[in-house]
Amino acid sequence: MTTDPKSVRGARRKVLKELNRSVWDGAKDVFPLAEVLDTSLKRNTAFIKRCKVGLNEDQQSTLLKEIASLSLERYISEIVADFSEGLVKCKSSAELFVGVEVASALHQRFGPSISCAILSAMLRSIQSTNPDVFAGLTDEARAREINARSDRNRIVMRVIIELWLVDVFRYSTDPGVYKYEVPAWALQKTSSGTVLSPPMATLKHILHFDTEGFATSGIAISVVKAYGSLLLGLTKDEKAQEDANGDKIPSSPSTKGSLVSPEEQQRFMALYTAYTRAFQDRIVEVAKKLRRMERGNEQAYIRTGKVLADRKERYESLMRHAEGLWDACKTLSDLLSIEMPQVRFTNETEEEMLIRKGGTVFKDSDGGIWDDDEQKNFYENVTDIRKLLEAQLAEEENKEAVPEEEPDLNDDYDDVESVKSDDEDNRLAQEIENLKPENDQAPPESSPAIGQPSAASNNGPRPASAPGTGASGPRKATPKVNDDSDDEIDDDEFIQAPVEPDRLHYMLMDLSENPNREVVDKVALEFMKIETPGYRKRVIEFFARVRNSDSYKLSFFARFVATLHPLLPDITEGLIGYLNRSFNFLQRRRKNPALFQRQMFNIKFLCELIKFDLVPKFVIFNRFTQLTKTLDDFNALTLVNYLEGCGRYLLRKTATNVLMTKMLRTVETQTSVRRLSYDKKTLLVGAVAYVRPRETTRLSLTVKKRPIIEKYIRHLVYSALEKNTASHVLAQLLKMDWNDTETLTALQKVFTKIHKVNFSNVKHMAWMLVEISKYYPSFVTYVIDGVFESIRRGLEISTFAYNQKRLAEVRYISELFCCGLIEEYNVYETLYLFLSFGHPKGKPIPGVLSSIDPPNDFFRIRLICSLLEVPDTAKKLHVNKDKLDLFLANFEFYLFTKDKLSMEVEFQLRDTFDLIRPQTGIASNIEEAVRRLYRQIDLTNGGTGQEDESKVQQALMSFQASMGMQNGHGEDESEKEEEMDEQKKAELERRRKAQEEYERRKKNIKAAVEIERDLQNMMLDRGLMLRESGRKMQFQEPVPSTNGGSSGTLPPVSVQGGRMRYSLMTKQGTKTNMRAMGIPTETKIAQRVSENIEQRQKENDRIKEYILRYSEQYDSDEDKGSIPRINQPELTSYRYRPKK
């Protein structure tokens, strides 16, 4: 029986504490010394060095023996310095406890003087980790220095605690008695006037280094984990207490230990509680700052359309810091049983997070983002102008191919003058002229003109020209938002096109007079034939001068722009730019009733463009922001029209759903706090209700109602369980009330339905079940019985849908067997159940079909491999080798009842056999499998392992007969023998032909190699001849080398007179020359070239030989038959019996 190291150290601490306390009380000869002390300089120096670098378990007895036998009085200062440095180097608890033993021995021999010296050295070695100390360093150097100091402080803190627990250290004032220096912070006093203990003062000093970033939280957590039961009186199995209101309160210190007094435990608990509360408050502050930064980033995005990189980097850095603080504080709070506050690091609500992850909350069956199918077709099914142009061009090319009278170049619009009368022309021209201001003079402010500059602003700076195109071609423009300059609209920014004015004029008038889809598509197609930069600007001018009364045509105008947008995006951008400038201009003059009507017109036009997805997101929400910031009666009406025009579309669209939800919330807030008239508030409330009706059908998510305790258990097992948290999850489960029906039922579900657990956590579930068996054995029996029943039920159903569940259950059984909860015979019972269940009389025979285990179903093989491929399972089964070999023989026999295995199953099967029995392998035919099976049966029955040949032949004949009956073959033995002879003859003939083909290919390859070598030599000689003659022929280019080509040949190395030929290429201007040089063969470059050429030649020869051998093998394996099938003898089934 192994002894717990913690309990051993605890008992040893009590012994050392008594001895060390007696030294403080004045006792002598506590530590036994040798009669004659060794004064050798060499041994004393070796001891001092060992104190510095040899504090480990192997050196403990040597150190204690040397303390008792050496005369060390003259080396006290060196011992204190080196021993203090050696203590700081202790990394593990075992090494640290060796230091405690050595320190206690030194204290017992030399008395309090050496203990006070060590305490002074330890206190002075504490280094500050306050970020202000490293203000002059870079971020990387600062982080590196803080981490190094934190690691050192963590070790020093543990040394001080350990030595204080055994009374080597007593009070922080003791070093002063012996004239040793002590830091001022170590002499702090409590409210009662007593000096703090060394660990209390040190811990308090360390925790106050960084109250902003809480970088010292790691030290606090390590102290609680290592000494929580001693310093704070915490126990692992006690539950968090609750006050009268049901709130959790910190666990009260325990008084069961004698190493630390209850008063001291209360001080440590008070310090940790205050530190944790401050830590939580800091997290709340960081969360508020994150939400403010997120809100600012959203506002910046709406205002400018982007978030600056430095703002984004600061936000992400703070988010990572906040997550690290949360993890550390959560760990510390859980250790102290202090409840964590509810903190949100983002402004998103749960509904918004669901929307962001899952998309829109509206069903496609309800129309999606549109109210009906007609609206959906109008805004989504926009004509592809590219296809129309291609089709019309193809039609015109076909017409030109037919010899007929050439049609007029002008289309229907060219004949308008001949159709319409002169009076009609004059009337239309007069109407157009009435829309324009006379003599480029702006109307007064009260005039209802569309966005014209006032007379007072004509002398000021004029705005930039409208986004569009110049004479040189298309020019891309970006719509401007929130331009604080005067956004007046000037007619000079629209350039009139001097070419064909009547044609474009009548096209636009047709679009205005006949607003329908067919006219929109027709006009868009005709416009693409005559479009120029000037015409594009005229189109923008036309839309800018549409009358307010024609607002019902805006949807068709927007469709026209959307049709042209793929090829002419500058029209869209110019129109959006005009609407932005007009919005800003009219916003400042919104109290003018005439201009206010134009603002409503522009908002409606913008809404139509939004529905065609032509407006950037930041432009859309910038309008909302401007209207809500200055929400008065006029902006309220504008906002109502904006919400009614595109609010539903923006709310239902996935890309804008979250932002629109927040905007609606802002509108509701502003409506309640602003002093608006009653009718305007009513309109806003109605608009919000129109966009987001209360009766909107949400996605109905069916959530099963579960008790709170079951939800918590499912969270622990399904979400929180992993390798590092398994012990914590087990502790939480053991703390529960196992006598409660709901709790017990929930626990039975999670431990029985193992397929719902992450597959990698199955072994952790098995480990927890082992620990639970120590307290609740009946529960473990119930779980294991349930798993075995589920496995048997899976064999009965044999449905593909349950395959993953069955694999998890088999792995669960394997892990439970490794943990010792299941006996060996239970594992073999399950394995044999996989082989025999569903077969006649429990005997799987080749050719005899089973309805629940057909030959083409290989899942049982996967189940067996999954159970055996766990390394610990294979090791435990190898203990009884005879049973394992007998099962493997039966398993090999069972394989021949199946069809040809799939590739993945075959690989898994071979991996399993390589793990369990790598020397033997799998039987290649049914005869071998039967012989192995009978041999193993004979060994199991106590025989010599020699199979009975008559039984083997009889079994083979019966298996072949059953396979023949199943496949409808009833040939006689003579016919079978003749067929076998014919097959052998055909096989020999095929091998002979394959050998001939191999020889022929080999000769062809050799011939090709020789031809290519001759061609190389010929081209090389030709190049030398041309260079010698100085002639330059047409198409004279260097011939590429064939090194490494298909032939695999390499140029030979020419060596003459101890020199190797080498070609050096030189270049003069555009002329390239090759210069032959002789390099001595003893130089490194010559040796390296020769070795490289030889290696490449050998590699090419090896590759050719491998290809030829592979080709021969492939030809010989083409006509191989399939693997024969095997049978299995009768198997014995068992029932599970729980372990006693």
Tens-place pLDDT, residues 601-619: 999 999 999 999 898 888 8
Give me the DSSP letters along 636-695. Answer: HHHHHHHHHHHHHHHHHSGGGHHHHHHHHHHHHHHHHHS---HHHHHHHHHHHHHHS-TT
pLDDT grade, residue 505 (50/70/90)?
A: confident
Top pLDDT among 548 and 1008 is at 548
Residue 399: what pLDDT? Answer: 63
Give the Cα-Cα-Cα angle 413, 415, 420 (nearest 5 degrees): 100
pTM assigned to the model? 0.43
Is 70 exceeded by the pLDDT of residue 465? Answer: no
For 188-214, what is the mean pLDDT? Answer: 84
| 610, 646 Cβ separation under 8 angstroms | yes
For 88-93, what is the mean pLDDT? Answer: 86
pLDDT grade, residue 628 (50/70/90)?
A: confident
With a pLDDT cut of 90, the percent of the chain lying above it is 13
| 185, 179 Cβ separation under 8 angstroms | no
pLDDT grade, residue 594 (50/70/90)?
A: confident
| 137, 129 Cβ separation under 8 angstroms | no
pLDDT grade, residue 596 (50/70/90)?
A: confident
Is 50 exceeded by the pLDDT of residue 1080? Answer: yes
pLDDT grade, residue 236 (50/70/90)?
A: low
**Separation of alpha carbons 37 and 858, rounded Å:** 79
Select from 377, 358, 359, 376 the least CA-distant residue to 367: 376
Element (H, E) at 619: helix 617-629
Residue 1099: what pLDDT? Answer: 81
**Separation of alpha carbons 130 and 208, rounded Å:** 9
Q: How many Cα atoms occupy the beta-carbon half-sphere of 793 within 13 Å?
A: 9
Task: Kindly report, residue by residue over 1044-1055, the tens digit of the pLDDT.
Answer: 444 444 455 566
Selection from 669-673, 693-697, 1086-1090 with the highest mean pLDDT = 669-673
Top pLDDT among 1038 and 204 is at 204
**277 contact partners, CB below 8 Å, separation of at least 6:** 338
pLDDT grade, residue 950 (50/70/90)?
A: low
For 350-354, what is the mean pLDDT? Answer: 52
For 203-218, what is the mean pLDDT? Answer: 84
Token pair listed for 417: 């003058």
**Separation of alpha carbons 70 and 593, rounded Å:** 107
Give me the DSSP letters along 527-579. Answer: HHHH--HHHHHHHHHHHHT--GGGGGGHHHHHHHHHHHTTT-HHHHHHHHHHH
For residue 746, the SS3 value is: helix
Residue 115 identity: S
pLDDT grade, residue 375 (50/70/90)?
A: confident
Top pLDDT among 437 and 610 is at 610
pLDDT grade, residue 1034 (50/70/90)?
A: very low
pLDDT grade, residue 790 (50/70/90)?
A: very high
pLDDT grade, residue 424 (50/70/90)?
A: very low
For 626-636, what is the mean pLDDT? Answer: 87
Name the burial class of residue 941, with classes exposed (0-12), middle (13-18) and buried (19+) by CB atoms within 10 angstroms of its CB: exposed
Residue 407: what pLDDT? Answer: 42
Is 60 exceeded by the pLDDT of residue 585? Answer: yes
Is 70 exceeded by the pLDDT of residue 539? Answer: yes
Region class of 665: left (phi > 0), else alpha (psi between -120 and 50), else beta:
alpha
Q: How many Cα atoms occupy the beta-carbon half-sphere of 190 within 13 Å?
A: 15
How many angstroms separate the Cα of 197 from the Cα of each of 167, 188, 233? 11, 9, 17
Is 80 exceeded by the pLDDT of residue 952? Answer: no
Query: Considering only the top CATH level, what class is 5-181?
Result: mainly alpha
Give the Cα-Cα-Cα angle 622, 627, 628 (nearest 5 degrees): 100
Task: Kindly report, residue by residue over 911-942, the tens digit of the pLDDT.
Answer: 888 888 877 778 777 777 777 777 777 777 76
Region class of 26: left (phi > 0), else alpha (psi between -120 and 50), else beta:
left
Residue 1036: what pLDDT? Answer: 45
Select from 599, 603, 582 the least CA-distant residue to 590: 599
Residue 128 backbone dihedrals phi, psi, to 5 degrees: -75, 140
Is 60 exceeded by the pLDDT of residue 249? Answer: no
Residue 1062 backbone dihedrals phi, psi, to 5 degrees: -145, 130
pLDDT grade, residue 708 (50/70/90)?
A: very high
pLDDT grade, residue 415 (50/70/90)?
A: very low
Is 50 exceeded by the pLDDT of residue 340? Answer: yes
| 463, 485 Cβ separation under 8 angstroms | yes
Residue 7 identity: S
Residue 237: what pLDDT? Answer: 47
Mean pLDDT for the chain? 76
For 583-588, what is the mean pLDDT? Answer: 87
Is 70 exceeded by the pLDDT of residue 690? Answer: yes
Residue 699: what pLDDT? Answer: 47
Selection from 331-335, 944-948, 1130-1134 with the highest mean pLDDT = 331-335
| 830, 788 Cβ separation under 8 angstroms | yes
For 462-476, what is the mean pLDDT? Answer: 35
Residue 1055: what pLDDT? Answer: 64
Is 80 exceeded by the pLDDT of residue 537? Answer: yes
Residue 960 identity: Q
Name the burial class of residue 25, with classes exposed (0-12), middle (13-18) and buried (19+) by CB atoms within 10 angstroms of its CB: exposed
Element (H, E) at 1079: strand 1071-1080
Task: Kindly report, residue by residue over 954-990, the tens digit of the pLDDT.
Answer: 666 665 555 544 444 444 445 555 666 677 777 778 8
Residue 1074 backbone dihedrals phi, psi, to 5 degrees: -110, 125
- Crossing angle of the two packed helices 881-895 and 903-916, in degrees rounded to 10: 160
**Separation of alpha carbons 620 and 303, rounded Å:** 10
For residue 473, the SS3 value is: strand
**508 contact partners, CB below 8 Å, separation of at least 6:** 523, 539, 542
pLDDT grade, residue 246 (50/70/90)?
A: very low
- Crossing angle of the two packed helices 741-752 and 777-797, in degrees rounded to 10: 50
Polymer length in residues for the chain: 1140
Whole-angstrom distance between the N-terminal and C-terminal Cα of the chain?
20
**Separation of alpha carbons 182 and 187, rounded Å:** 8
Residue 353: what pLDDT? Answer: 53
Give the torsion sign (CA, 626, 629, 630, 632): positive
With a pLDDT cut of 70, the percent of the chain lying above it is 74
Q: What is the CA radius of gyration of the chain?
A: 46
Is 70 exceeded by the pLDDT of residue 839? Answer: yes
Residue 944: what pLDDT? Answer: 62
| Cβ atoms within 10 Å of 1000's Cβ, excluding its own | 10
Residue 248 backbone dihedrals phi, psi, to 5 degrees: -75, 140
Residue 1023: what pLDDT? Answer: 59
For residue 1090, the SS3 value is: helix
Is 80 exceeded by the pLDDT of residue 120? Answer: yes
**443 contact partners, CB below 8 Å, separation of at least 6:** 437, 449, 452
Is 60 exceeded by the pLDDT of residue 433? Answer: no
Task: Kindly report, residue by residue over 795-823, the tens digit of the pLDDT.
Answer: 888 888 888 999 999 999 999 999 888 98
